[in-house]
Chains A and B, each alone.
Chain A
């Protein structure tokens, strides 16, 4: 991490801590905001949060490692979470899981080398009447079939992947 990046992260954490009056109960919203922006809560971030809230860094680590939506290692720009609960399982989760692995070239628990997608299972998404269900960041997809998988991924690739950079460049020159 660049010194300038560290400085801006330090500043952001200080600002958020200020908002929550440096009280411990501000921990979750602060960690969630860091996770959303940086896709992980780094060692440095955990130390800074600890310093600002007056707790030990190990306590912050304890919290980060407890919750499945927080992580110490960076997730993909788009975190894919496929529901593994019984109803989605009945509805054909296994086939969707297989196709997701095929399309992304990574197994569950992995992140694509370009950092665009991470793939994992999650527990009940509350979409059991429209399974199989999955989340891509905060967007929810229901009745996902293997053939829909590539379409969904393509949508996100177009948003941020090399293709979108290409389009941008073309637009620029055109």
Chain B
């Protein structure tokens, strides 16, 4: 299976929006449901369900928030979309706002992408001029505008409730759920938070119909996925592939055949060892926000684990104990392994700690921060245990 060009197709400004505004809100959501699209940020929640819940909520004020806080290590597909496909994105935000009954869309742009802001502001100004935003969008009885808000450098703000906290002027600490943002979101109003890629896909779906979208992918994971490929490969960059593509197909595509492991889904994702390269991308197997880091045979897997754990120690918001205290413990364990000072018994305890963090942490960050540690200590036992002097398992 090779790469496809699907949601990276050229997009004519306003085309999806025009079609959407001719339909009722329910019909827009029905078409999105028909497409089977699930959130592209990684969690894979069905977009139509989110929009429907938000549309059904009773409130004079609602918001559509575009999550452009692309912070997962190894992910850069939104960088490409924000700079090369802004029209499709702004269409997606606007028609999403129409579907849920919002008057304001907010783009939460990460601080690291501040250089993109002037371009996006210019695109917004052009759309106001072209009546694609404003009091009467395309002459219809629909008022909508889009505002850009900047993040300030916090990975956890990619989590939707932390993002909302940040927009409200607080520390980006995730909230307890329920209540979900679709009921109680930004300033207490129903809010739909959607990924950049999801909103662009929705614009295409409205323009070309749900059938067009289902052309690629599997039954559970419809459509295609943008991958951000980096690391030890000949051709790093953004690729679009159909869901269901295997890891080894991707490696062939990017010139990374010799890899000993592939990190799928970034620091919070899974470390896939060579013997599992037949696994498929998709919500049924390897769910991913799109980050693919190729790890060549020359790399030390403990370096990989240390890099990710350093990251989580720094980015943990500190709110819940498993994540705040667990990550430093795992990092300490990796350093012990590196020095050959970790017994197998202690390693087992650390693995139990990691599994506890997966179930006991409050948000996605803590729940996934032990993934790489657990995968590496399971699949690369010989490599990491080789440094333990004379212990028996």
Contacts and interface: CB of A to CB of B under 8 A. Distances in A.
A4 interface: no
Contacts of B307: 84-86, 89
Interface stretch (B92-100, B119-127, B162-170, B380-388): B162-170
A140 interface: yes
Contacts of A69: 111, 151-153
Contacts of B238: 129
A66 B231 contact: no
Interface residues of B, number: 51
Interface string B157-180: 000000000111111100000000
B228 to A, nearest CB: 7
A101 to B, nearest CB: 18
B312 to A, nearest CB: 10
Contact of A31 (B73, B79, B152): B152
B114 A124 contact: no
B51 interface: no
A67 B112 CA distance: 12
A63 B150 contact: no
Nearest to A33: B150
A53 B237 CA distance: 44
Nearest to A24: B169
A124 B78 CA distance: 13
Nearest to A93: B307
Interface in A104-142: 122-131, 135, 138-140
B212 interface: no
Nearest to A129: B236
Contacts of B224: none
Contacts of B150: 28-29, 32
B169 A129 contact: no
B76 A126 contact: yes
Contact of A128 (B74, B78, B154, B170): B74
B230 A53 contact: no
A28 B314 contact: no
B315 interface: yes
A67 B73 CA distance: 17
A68 B152 contact: yes
A25 interface: yes
A12 B232 CA distance: 49
A122 B153 contact: yes
Contacts of A46: none
Contact of A27 (B79, B151, B169, B296): B169
Nearest to A60: B169
Nearest to A53: B169
B172 A86 contact: no
A26 B311 CA distance: 29
A174 interface: no
A63 B169 contact: yes
A3 B388 CA distance: 63
Interface in A31-46: 31-32, 35
B115 A126 contact: no
28 contacts: A24-B170, A28-B149, A28-B150, A35-B152, A67-B152, A67-B153, A67-B154, A68-B152, A84-B311, A85-B267, A85-B307, A86-B263, A86-B308, A89-B303, A90-B232, A90-B296, A90-B299, A122-B112, A123-B155, A123-B311, A124-B73, A124-B74, A126-B75, A126-B78, A128-B75, A128-B228, A129-B230, A129-B237
Given A25-B167, A29-B150, A69-B153, 7 more contacts: A68-B154, A86-B231, A86-B267, A87-B293, A89-B303, A128-B230, A128-B231
3 closest pairs, A vs B, by CB? Answer: A27-B169, A67-B152, A128-B230
